[in-house]
Structure 1
Amino acid sequence: MNRHELFDIAKGWFASKGWKPYAFQLQAWEAFLQGKNGLLNAPTGSGKTYALWIPIMLDYIKKNPQYKTKHAPGLKAIWVTPLRALSVEIKQAAERAAYDLETGLTVGIRTGDTSSSEKSKQKTKMPDLLVTTPESLQLMLASKGYDTIFKGCTAIIIDEWHELLGTKRGVQTELALSRLKTITPKLRIWGISATIGNLDQAREVLLGPESEAFQNSTLVKAHIHKKIKVQSIIPEKMDTYPWRGHMGLHLIDEVAKIIKASKTTLVFTNVRAQCEIWFQALLEKYPEFAGDMAMHHGSISRETRQWVEQAVRDEQLKAVICTSSLDLGVDFAPVETVIQIGGPKSVARFLQRAGRSGHRPGQQSVIYFLATHAIELVEASALKRAVKETVVEDRIPYLNSWDVLVQYLVTLAVSDGFYPSEIYKEVKSTFCYQAMTEENWTWVLNFITKGSQSLEAYDEYKKVDIESDGLFKVNSRSVALRHRMQMGTIIGDAVMNVKFLGGGYIGSIEESFASKLYPGDVFIFAGRKLELYRTKNMEVLVRRANPSAKAQHASWMGSRMTLSSQMSELLRQELYAANAYARSPELHALAPLFARQRKESIVPDADEFLIETFKTREGYHALFYPFEGRFVHEALASLMAYRISLLSPITFSLAYNDYGFELLSDTEIDIQQVLDNNLFTPEHLHHDLQKSLNATEIARRKFRDISVIAGLVFSGYPGRIIKTKHLQSGSQLIFEVFRDYEPDNLLLQQAYRETFEHQLEEGRLIEALERIQNQQIVWKPCEKPTPFSFPIITDRLRERLSTETLAERIKKMTASYMK
């Protein structure tokens, strides 16, 4: 069959559905059938799935002219998705096309949710098309005879590649692809990406720089302009002194109005605790939403999540309060409206969420932005501009992730074993390890066979044996079992399952939250009030609590997000525009706040950097406004505190948010001295950061994750998970051994490198300091706190006061500052 005949089959199927293929879909079909690899870039809800499932099926039809009567068994294509929740939908899309085209192709799923009976069936007979995750793909590489499973595979699709790029799961995927390229020479590799800035680099990371796959590849771009309508929910009365304490709940009536006026609404919150609080608040104020509203986040049981997803598709729900668990791919045709509560911190995340509504080609997406405090309206205005100008973040790929490489080599040794000379070439061909030296490689091999020089005396770190023919192989069954159980690169706080006394799984909460509860305590989780009966074997046993009982909301660690560099750039530009004549509705609504800010201080221009000082009963405050995001400010606050203390001994307490940071002291800070001594210089930054931030302490925490991924510490068997504090102390011990006796240990060096590159964002820090050096520094000694300083001050107060007390305190503070 020639290409035209094959295309006619596909176009006929599209026509039967009332569709017409887009130009980008035809382009992807053609490139795939020509044997090319590539990256497909198209907006959410534009038909990306069929841009690649269809050519996979056409390729099968071409190779098997008698496809309707004779079925050629064996695995033909793998579809890798970063989210298990998407696998059912991807499978259904493939089944629909495979059945209608009479191909006889079978479709299967293999993820952490797949039953053991289904997995054992797949061992004897693989489906033709397999939907899986990066972790499950690694597990397949850990099974004996994996090369025979994959050898007939003609395609692998990496979905939502922008979500994997810039993470260790992306590195894991790079390594798996390097192996598959060797054992299946005819393999075509395709990535799918929606929102990403550095598309060319994304394709290079996917296929491997300078590889044959990269030379024979193409970038397919959908030129579809997705109409996105962004509307801010602007309160009638604007806080002149904005604060962060109320999560936007003061606008709950506006949200209820939007929900009532739409067919289906997704309400996105940034973190799980906020999701729980909003769900509860809406139910309490609007009991009529009971039964029409649900909640969806990663800690709720899979069954409940799947029920919610299906209920949205079947138009049974009017609203879902959710987190990033619904950011990706799930096809919700009935969703009419999306509400974003609080700044999403990145343009890509905002566009992704907006794309959940009007999830059909050609339809408009409608997203409402609800600012949790006044200054967040500047973010809303910036996002509107980003949508208009299609500004999207780059994803920065990882380099030299030795922990992931250690895990991968043990994976290969657990299955059929490997010869180092062969695998070295493959690993070196990936983007992540392109700069790896033979010396690094030898170190990693020694590490998996001897446990590195400082651990050589302990047998438990010697995992891989070297056979007489030079094959590296794991022969110990217990090592193989532990390794299979701990594969993956997602490390979080240990979670405990929440179950009813009489049975019934509700979801999971983090150990750090559960450890603070006593029997009889009532907490709100998954939209229910639950009373703790007892904790046993990493299980939290509960019963339903009295509806009128006082309860605390479940909380999760690691939930603070920071502005991306593109987002902070947009925010600064928008803020500088506040001094210009042309204004967005959001900036117009903020006019009273800006007027008050100018009365006490200034609203800085593009060439100005603002420092404010004032005295309150708490002490002497110095506030700096780089508008660079929380993580950069955390590092900058420590850096400035350290540099000032070198001039004269002084103790500070630090506070920061996305807009700026505060140094609070009981003695006055000499700002003139700060300016005269050029303390904003990027020179000696690395050294000063190490001194100021206790970088060793942060690196020690990073090392915990690295040591779990590299298999240095074991996180436990199912039902017998090792507590986080024990994992932490185990990894700390190893960290100290390496630091004292083996400072050139690659995993130790990686912990420090990741601390500076990823946690402290050293690159962004240098850029921020260089920018400040080119600005005119405006120091404003103020009589009282300013509107810009208020959210930072209240953030610090919130650490010490309950919400009710804080609200009272803020009322009094606002009244006194407005005099």
Structure 2
Amino acid sequence: MTGRRRRYAPGAWFERHGWKPFPFQREVWSAMAAGRSGLLHATTGAGKTYAVWFGALARAAALGVATDDARQAPPLGVLWLTPMRALAADTTRSLTLPLAEEAPAWTIGQRTGDTASAERARQDRRLPTALVTTPESLTLMLTRASAQQDLAGVHTVIVDEWHELLGNKRGVQVQLALARLRHWNPQLVVWGLSATLGNSAEAMATLVGDAQGQLVVGRVPKDLAIDTLLPADVGRFSWGGHLGAQMQMPVVEEIERSGPTLVFTNVRSQAEAWYQLLLAARPDWAGLVALHHGSLDKSVREWVELGLKEGRLRAVVATSSLDLGVDFLPVERVLQIGSAKGVARLLQRAGRSGHAPGRPSRVTLVPTQALELVEGAAARRAAKAGQVEGRHTPAKPLDVLVQHLVTVALGGGFTPDALYEEVRSAPAYATLTREEFDWALAFVEGGGSSLGAYPEYHRVLPDDQGVYRVPDAGIARRHRMGVGTIVSDSTMPIQWVGGGVLGHLEESFIARLNPGDCFIFGGRALEYVRTRDMTAYVRKASSRSGKLASWNGAKMPLSSELADAIQALLHQAAREVAETYPDGLPEAEAPPPPARKGAAFSEPELRAAWPMLQVQVRLSHLPQAGRLLVEQYRSREGHHLFVYPFGGRNVHLGLAQLLAWRFSQQQPNTFSISINDYGFELLSIHPVEVAPLLDGRVLAEDGLMHDMLASLNSSALARKRFREIARVAGLVFSGFPGAAKSTRQLQASSSLFYEVFRKYDAGNRLLSQAEHEVLAQELELGRLGEVLARMRAQQIDLVPLQVPTPMSLPLMVERFREQLSTEKLADRLARIVADAEKVLAHPPLPPRPRLPKPRIVRRR
């Protein structure tokens, strides 16, 4: 429904409500009205939503779309993509607010996995003028035979929280969907919203494709405070989780002093634990403190979100499920338990407080070990300096392409030449060769050279006109049920014996329970009763004790930006220690260096961590720029080699495997490996000859790819990665509703495909994709190469130890946790710390010499 073009003044609505638009909002309105695409990068709570929403109204007005004719609503013209279903309802409410005055003829709706079937049926009869949806639901719309008729009129697409999609396959899925919409409407306007990105220009180019985009930066004055809740007693030795229980009461006291508070953790099991800690300290807070994470039932999450909005809750313990743009205006404080592992994530979470223009935001870090004090100070410095991580699109993942070919074949069909050019317009596939495209097409057409005998893998076939379509209704149904790129371990509902769902837990956790076992989930103590029809039935436990529910999943690695900031701060601290104590630290306890302006020890976190840092200096060195700290220690277990490249968990896993393999090539040996974000430990039976490390032989770049594959159990890692690829590519079907396949069945199916392809279809490109993703994503091969090059250029500080240091002990604890019970671990640590304290009390060490200036050793 269009008419004559008219001028539209978005600012009038703001003025009627006593607000004044920001200059960046006016810039977006003007650009969108003129038909330009782009990216709006602004702080959380600055007004991004209304910048692009009123821009969409301006774009509609410029096209002549009716806004005030109430006889019939205009057809679908605006798509709003959100990365999380939980954001859809909140976004819809925000967009609806001005419509009564600005576009009374418009209708707005939402379509996600949570949308009721009755609402879906209404939308199938007539879509709203604006639709809030997710990448998966949009892709499902593209599978409809009427897709072009339904979506060709879309003139504006807005992608919210683009930084959350950009770096993963969901972002690639969005790129392909946008390419399809642009094919139908070359004048399509696309805008992305982002709050925390270090590479905004690249992010915009990835979103808008070949279009000339406009980058708008929203600069709104906003105070941001990043501080740390300092422990009363840091101690001289610390390890992962060491300070956690000590911080219980300080966290409770912070919540008491504040208004509504969000307490963020990095993983769900940690959220469950801290919820219990808060209630144990303050039982009277029952009903005022809540828990929120993605495994809880939708009704529970919605109750928590509403309680936050209305200010009824004193605190909510949450994971990344509340990271993104839901507007919780009453929230005054954000506490981050442990390290956020990245500057962008820290800023994102800080923005959950003071979520409005002009209101200050504050995030307080709660360390769980002493080294996180240093990390907190480094994160604050990096945030002030604008050292925010960038995100990059995956490069031409063929499993997503295979899925997309079937999607487009369902949604009206395609011809290969036209679709190849369309797919290449998506930046993720800009370098896609015709050979790679033809392989993917042949794979969905005939199953490749190993699956040709099975009709269910002949998923698309050309008709008489050469248009590829899906020939079978069963294939179509299975594809629609498997659309998407989110792959996780199979879960099963957790349901009361008498009815009512609490949430979902991974099947692997439930499989370890026996009837009568108690566990903690959703803040409740539950007794496991039985499993039936892929549902775990529970009843309320008689006691409050039980094992915490746990989830599989890798720990988040430290970002390179934050790692660099930590190294820089430790280097500055080492310089200040050397300047303050030029003849080495005295045997007695010494005060920290002066807290001069801009100095490392002007940071309260560094002064609090001084007991630990002082011990590290006495027993070894502090890491410094231009130098690689390596520590050697011998115990009853064997020979320990500790290396500290500060590359993050993923890189250290690859480095540890690589060095262990290269050392063993020089001299046969057996190694055990332990890693954290700061370094890694190689524990060997026989002494390690470190000469190959000192002269750089084990750090050589030559043969890196070959040695990496040889050092890893690459087949096992690739097989694990292939499980995800097989599900995205549609090879493995998860089952129909009420008849879901178990994790064991899915793993067996994907493993079977993996072995069949290896034996009978060695050129299958999904196999090479699995290997590539292991290296590029799990081990971060690109970053690993950078860290390896940096290590080659550094002077090595090789320090023999008599006892473990504050930096080496956490690595030992990581390994102990896999071998010892909690009680035995505590005893073991007590003995190690006692031995170290004896050495510190009566040091058989010469006085520490002055630290030499860093120098670069150039190796041939």
Q: TM-score range by the shorter chain?
A: over 0.9
- Aligned match for 1:587, one of 594, 603, 606: 606
User: Kindly tell me: are residues 4 and 479 of structure 1, through their superposed partners in 2, closer, same or farther at Cα, counting changes over 3 Å?
Assistant: closer
User: Kindly tell me: are residues 385 and 225 of structure 1, through their superposed partners in 2, closer, same or farther at Cα, counting changes over 3 Å?
Assistant: farther
Report what 1:657 is aligned to: 676
- Aligned match for 1:567, one of 550, 562, 569: 562
Letter in 2 for 1:451: G
Counterpart-to-counterpart distance in 2, 1:734 and 1:65: 53
Counterpart-to-counterpart distance in 2, 1:330 and 1:741: 50
Matched, 1:501 2:503: no
The structural deviation recorded for 1:61 is: 4.3
Show structure 2 runs of 5+ residues with no match.
577-598, 839-860
- Deviations 1:439-460 (CA, angstroms, capped at 9, x unpaired): 1121111111100112212222
Counterpart-to-counterpart distance in 1, 2:257 and 2:7: 48
CA contact (8 A) 2:203 2:392 kept: no
Q: Which moved more, 1:504-513 or 1:611-620?
A: 611-620
CA contact (8 A) 2:509 2:550 kept: yes
Counterpart-to-counterpart distance in 2, 1:109 and 1:53: 15
User: Kindly tell me: are residues 757 and 492 of structure 1, through their superposed partners in 2, closer, same or farther at Cα, counting changes over 3 Å?
Assistant: same
Report what 1:818 is aligned to: 837
Report what 1:19 is aligned to: 19
Matched, 1:481 2:482: no
Counterpart-to-counterpart distance in 2, 1:226 and 1:83: 26
CA contact (8 A) 2:568 2:624 kept: no
Counterpart-to-counterpart distance in 2, 1:675 and 1:792: 22
- Tell me how many residue pairs correspond in the alignment: 811
Report what 1:60 is aligned to: 60
Matched, 1:94 2:103: no
- Deviations 1:329-387 (CA, angstroms, capped at 9, x unpaired): 01010000000011111111100000000111011111110111001111101111012
Matched, 1:318 2:314: yes
The structural deviation recorded for 1:72 is: 4.4
The structural deviation recorded for 1:572 is: 1.2
| Aligned 1:655-694 pairs, distance under 5 A | 655-676=674-695, 678-694=697-713
Matched, 1:638 2:633: no
Report what 1:50 is aligned to: 50
Report what 2:518 is aligned to: 522
Percent sequence identity over matched residues?
44
Q: Which moved more, 1:67-76 or 1:226-235?
A: 67-76
Letter in 2 for 1:739: R
Counterpart-to-counterpart distance in 2, 1:234 and 1:90: 37
Matched, 1:329 2:325: yes
Counterpart-to-counterpart distance in 2, 1:121 and 1:677: 68
Report what 2:549 is aligned to: 554
Counterpart-to-counterpart distance in 2, 1:543 and 1:688: 52
CA contact (8 A) 2:66 2:105 kept: no
Counterpart-to-counterpart distance in 2, 1:523 and 1:750: 39
User: Kindly tell me: are residues 420 and 673 of structure 1, through their superposed partners in 2, closer, same or farther at Cα, counting changes over 3 Å?
Assistant: closer
User: Kindly tell me: are residues 594 and 144 of structure 1, through their superposed partners in 2, closer, same or farther at Cα, counting changes over 3 Å?
Assistant: same
The structural deviation recorded for 1:68 is: 4.5
Matched, 1:308 2:310: no
- Deviations 1:266-322 (CA, angstroms, capped at 9, x unpaired): 000000000000001111121121111000000000111011011101010000000
Matched, 1:173 2:177: no
Counterpart-to-counterpart distance in 1, 2:757 and 2:506: 30
Matched, 1:699 2:695: no
User: Kindly tell me: are residues 542 and 246 of structure 1, through their superposed partners in 2, closer, same or farther at Cα, counting changes over 3 Å?
Assistant: farther
Report what 1:276 is aligned to: 272
Counterpart-to-counterpart distance in 1, 2:246 and 2:739: 44
Report what 2:8 is aligned to: 6
Counterpart-to-counterpart distance in 2, 1:4 and 1:119: 33
- Deviations 1:654-691 (CA, angstroms, capped at 9, x unpaired): 10100110011222212234324621122211111101
The structural deviation recorded for 1:3 is: 11
CA contact (8 A) 1:245 1:794 kept: no
SS of 2:334's partner is: strand
Letter in 2 for 1:51: A
TM-score, normalization by structure 2:
0.92
CA contact (8 A) 1:61 1:67 kept: no
Counterpart-to-counterpart distance in 2, 1:614 and 1:147: 67
Matched, 1:628 2:647: yes
Counterpart-to-counterpart distance in 2, 1:66 and 1:414: 33
Counterpart-to-counterpart distance in 1, 2:16 and 2:831: 67
Report what 2:428 is aligned to: 432
Counterpart-to-counterpart distance in 1, 2:571 and 2:820: 34
Counterpart-to-counterpart distance in 2, 1:443 and 1:703: 18
CA contact (8 A) 1:332 1:359 kept: yes
User: Kindly tell me: are residues 559 and 283 of structure 1, through their superposed partners in 2, closer, same or farther at Cα, counting changes over 3 Å?
Assistant: farther
Counterpart-to-counterpart distance in 1, 2:67 and 2:377: 58
Matched, 1:612 2:646: no
CA contact (8 A) 1:338 1:354 kept: yes
Matched, 1:237 2:233: yes
CA contact (8 A) 2:490 2:742 kept: yes
- Aligned match for 2:796, one of 777, 785, 798: 777
Report what 2:79 is aligned to: 78
Counterpart-to-counterpart distance in 2, 1:607 and 1:447: 50
CA contact (8 A) 2:32 2:58 kept: no
Letter in 2 for 1:344: A
Q: Which moved more, 1:297-306 or 1:732-741?
A: 732-741
Report what 2:786 is aligned to: 767
Counterpart-to-counterpart distance in 2, 1:235 and 1:4: 62
Matched, 1:395 2:391: yes
CA contact (8 A) 1:271 1:559 kept: no
SS of 2:295's partner is: coil
CA contact (8 A) 1:87 1:109 kept: yes
Report what 1:189 is aligned to: 190
The structural deviation recorded for 1:749 is: 1.1
Counterpart-to-counterpart distance in 2, 1:393 and 1:691: 31
TM-score, normalization by structure 1:
0.97
User: Kindly tell me: are residues 245 and 55 of structure 1, through their superposed partners in 2, closer, same or farther at Cα, counting changes over 3 Å?
Assistant: closer
| Aligned 1:284-303 pairs, distance under 5 A | 284-303=280-299
Counterpart-to-counterpart distance in 2, 1:615 and 1:69: 81
User: Kindly tell me: are residues 690 and 559 of structure 1, through their superposed partners in 2, closer, same or farther at Cα, counting changes over 3 Å?
Assistant: closer
The structural deviation recorded for 1:102 is: 4.8
Counterpart-to-counterpart distance in 1, 2:295 and 2:120: 25
Show structure 1 runs of 5+ residues with no match.
none
Letter in 2 for 1:23: P
Counterpart-to-counterpart distance in 2, 1:230 and 1:194: 17
- Deviations 1:681-724 (CA, angstroms, capped at 9, x unpaired): 22211111101011121111111100100011111112222122
Q: Which moved more, 1:150-159 or 1:650-659?
A: 150-159
User: Kindly tell me: are residues 69 and 295 of structure 1, through their superposed partners in 2, closer, same or farther at Cα, counting changes over 3 Å?
Assistant: closer
Letter in 1 for 2:702: E
CA contact (8 A) 2:225 2:361 kept: yes
User: Kindly tell me: are residues 295 and 247 of structure 1, through their superposed partners in 2, closer, same or farther at Cα, counting changes over 3 Å?
Assistant: farther
CA contact (8 A) 2:567 2:624 kept: no
Counterpart-to-counterpart distance in 2, 1:121 and 1:327: 32
CA contact (8 A) 2:73 2:107 kept: no
Letter in 1 for 2:605: E
The structural deviation recorded for 1:462 is: 1.1
User: Kindly tell me: are residues 66 and 762 of structure 1, through their superposed partners in 2, closer, same or farther at Cα, counting changes over 3 Å?
Assistant: closer
The structural deviation recorded for 1:55 is: 2.1
Letter in 2 for 1:150: L
CA contact (8 A) 1:249 1:278 kept: no
SS of 1:576's partner is: helix
Counterpart-to-counterpart distance in 1, 2:154 and 2:522: 41
Counterpart-to-counterpart distance in 2, 1:805 and 1:367: 36
The structural deviation recorded for 1:437 is: 1.4
Q: Which moved more, 1:495-504 or 1:11-20?
A: 11-20
